[in-house]
Structure formats: structure tokens, C-alpha cells
Amino acid sequence: MFSSKLYILVVLIVTFSSPCYSQIDFGYDDQSTWPGICTTGHAQSPVDIDVNPSKANKHGFISSESSIKGDSFKIRNTGESVTVRLLEETATGLFPGEGLSSTKFCFDNAHFHWGSSSKNGSEHTIRGRSSALEVHFVHYNCEFDSLKSALDSGRQDAIAVAGILCDINPSSKPNKALSPIISQLQAGQLKTPSGDFTTVDKPLDLLPLVPKRSFVYTYQGSLTTPTCNEQVTWFVFSSTKSCKVSESDLKALRSIKNSKGHQVRTNHRDLQSLNDREIQTLKLHSQY
Ligand SMILES: [Zn+2]
């Protein structure tokens, strides 16, 4: 028979194991209460990226195999963000084993981080500058069969996340690539958190958000939500040229509610110390 302590432990293991899907109630107001390694770790994310891009010592490209699209998509309000999934066959992700990384990573989900005002919102900052939105393309090492088993392996190369920073479009035009997602939010379909994904029978292609030319900053870090596992290789794109958003796009994202019924006005984690980590710079060339 389960003792109540053991039961709690089992629940914690189950709920703590999935980034940006977690069922743990955590808020952004008091991040010092986040569990475990979130507050004790030394390789946490996000960080301020304060490096000189002219020191780029490596070259990368977006492979022609890269694809983040589908004829339909699945979407969910996790209570902390909006998460999107696509069919595996049509969404190979950004790391097919060449270009950005020689390790093959499988695409799992895209989700978003924003702020209460468009002056901030991105998790990573570049030389102290915030963007209005940060899109995360989460991938797991294809040696594993899922994001969960990649994390459970404990390996440092379990996860790769591409972070795309988006600024406000001066012409206030909504973002075309994001519009199938934003229109779901504007229709009020995802107001309350749900454990289940809703299928939307509309095509979605998120690759246009990814800059074709950019510096890409790469470093070893963590998930930016509890349990903050230090198993993530980050690829943060310096260029915001491909991703411009409008205030109405941001308003739609901020309209989702958490499990307490409060609006998620902000969901970006505070900056973490770089400590002794090194950030490398890739110079990205277009190949798609
Ligand atoms: Zn994220």
C-alpha cells in the first residue's frame, strides 16, 4: 500500500518531468519559490548574452531538411504559456543532424514567453536588450523516443532549444506566420488551462519566424520552467528581422488564464548568472 509520503513522491516525479507542460503550479511573481535546482543550479537559463558577434568562430546553416509546418496543428493553454505541436512527419525541426548542430534533435513543441509590456517579454536578452516575445522551439535528442525519456536520461545533451526573439512591428501589422495561433486565442478557445491539446484544422508554418541570416549564440543551460533541468543546449538567434509582432498579437497571448483564473500577463523567467559558462557564436548562412 502507498504511504501518503510515497504517493506525494510519485506525483512529484510524474508532474515534474515535462518542460513547459508541467502540471506544477508555479508563478512568475515569486520565482525564488521554484523547486530544487531552479534556485540552486549553476547552469541556469535564461542569461544575458553579452558577447561580441565579430568573434564568431563557427559557421552554421538552416538545413533544407528543416521544417516546422503541418496541415493542422495541436494547441494547448498549459496555464503558463501557449504550446503548439505538429505532426512529426511534417515538422522535422531545426536540427536534422547538420547545420546548427551535428547531433540530431527531434522537434517536440513551440511555445511563447512574453511580458506585461512590449518593452520586455523575451527570456534571453542580448547585451541587456529585451525583445517583446521569445519563441522556443523545443527539440529532444533523437536517440530517445520522447522528450520525457530524453530528460529522464539525465544527459546534458538531452534537449536543444532554438530561441527566436521578436520585436514589435512599427507598422503594427500582426505576424502572418503566427496568425493561425493568434486567431484561436482571439476566438477565446484557450482561455482556461487544459491537460489536452485541441486540434486546429488549419495549416501552420513557423519556419518563416526563423532568420535566414543571423548570428546564433549557443551555450549549455537549463529549461526555463520548473524543474529547470540543466540538460539544454541553447541556440539563441540574434536577429529579430524575421519575427515582428503586433500589440494585438501580444494582447491575445496575455489573455490566457492560469489555473487560479488569473491572466498570464507575463511569463518570462528572470535572468540567471552565467557563472563559468562560455557562450559561442555561430555565423548563420541561409541554405533553405
Ligand atoms: Zn520556454
pLDDT along the chain (288 residues), means of 10: 42 40 74 94 98 86 94 96 91 94 97 97 97 98 97 98 97 96 94 94 97 95 97 97 97 96 96 97 80
What is the distance in A from the centroid of ligand 1 to the CA of 216?
17
> Residues 6 or more apart from 3 whose CB is under 8 A from it?
none
Q: What is the 264 CA–ligand 1 centroid distance (Å)?
A: 14
Measure 110 CA to ligand 1 centroid, in angstroms. Answer: 8
CA dihedral of 101, 109, 221, 145, whole degrees rounded to 10: -70
CATH 3.40.50.150 correct for 42-285: no
Sign of CA dihedral 78, 122, 53, 219: negative
Query: What is the pLDDT, as a whole number, of residue 8?
Result: 41
Q: Determine the length of the chain.
A: 288
Euclidean distance between the first and final Cα of the chain, in Å?
57
- Residue partners of 282: CB distance under 8 A and separation at least 6: 56, 58, 59, 60, 100, 215, 216, 217, 218, 235
* Ion ligand 1: protein residues whose beta carbon lies under 5 Å: 136
Q: What is the pLDDT of residue 118?
A: 95
* Res 202: pLDDT: 96
Q: How far is the CA of 133 from the centre of ligand 1 (A)?
A: 11
pLDDT in the model for residue 88? 76
Give the CA distances from residue 72 to residues 75, 83, 195, in Å, rounded to whole numbers and listed in that order: 10, 14, 19
CA of residue 115 to ligand 1 center, whole Å: 13
Ligand 1 centroid, distance to 45 Cα (angstroms): 10
Question: What local confidence, expressed as pLDDT, does residue 145 receive?
Answer: 96
Is the bond preceding 103 in cis, omega lying within 30 degrees of 0?
no
The residues spanned by each domain of the chain are 42-285
Span from the CA of 71 to the centroid of ligand 1 (angstroms): 24
202 Cα: distance to centroid of ligand 1 (angstroms): 24
The pTM of the full predicted model, rounded to 2 decimals, is: 0.91
